[in-house]
Amino acid sequence: MSGSSIRTQAPAHRGRLLTVGTLAGLAGGTIEVAWIALYQHLTGHEAAVVARGVTQSVLPGLASAPSAVLLGLAIHMALAVTLGVAIAIAVPRVLPRIAGTPLEPVAVVAALIGVWAVNFFVVLPVINPAFVTLVPYGASLISKVLFGFAAASVIWCSRWISAAGR
């Protein structure tokens, strides 16, 4: 992106970044939900507890509402989309030499591991300490790594599709 900010880029390029980022976040958020649901099922726990925990973390007053599970899923997906957009914008700007190379997915996964570490060791212990006990660290880390691979796949494929269309 050669040092330009998203505000100064051509509208078509901005729109493409937002679209790719949104799709990357949706893919990542969906794979996380699927993994946590599978993990919880295999270990004899309810996946709904995790979704309620998300609501408890962001909107504590609504954690016992009948819609807390759906609200938790919606919050999770909104955060996932935000993260996907941030990755789609940041990777080419922060690491322009690896954008579009085989190292890009590694950088995306590494960024998601960083997000996981900040969430589970800094943010969540302050805002909702009980949340970090709902799923073991290893299982939650796997969910973020899966998010990273899913997001990187979307970004990689979008570049390939864009290049093929030229």
Burial of 80 (0-12, 13-18, 19+ CB in 10 A): buried
Q: Give pLDDT, residue 63.
A: 94
State how far the Cα of 53 lies from the Cα of 64, in Å rounded to an integer: 10
- CA of residue 27 relative to chain centroid, distance: 8
Per-residue pLDDT of the chain (166 residues; tens, 9 = 90+): 444 455 555 666 788 899 999 999 999 999 999 999 999 999 999 999 999 999 999 999 999 999 999 999 999 999 999 999 999 999 889 988 998 889 999 999 999 999 999 999 999 999 999 999 999 999 999 999 999 999 999 998 987 777 666 5
Tokens encoding 164: 């093929």
State how far the Cα of 72 lies from the Cα of 82, in Å rounded to an integer: 15
Q: Give pLDDT, residue 158.
A: 87
Asked if 148 contacts 109 with a C-beta cutoff of 8 angstroms, the reply is yes
HSE of 120 in the Cβ direction (CA atoms, 13 Å)? 19
Nearest 10 degrees: Cα torsion 33, 91, 137, 121:
-120
Domain boundaries, the chain: 9-164
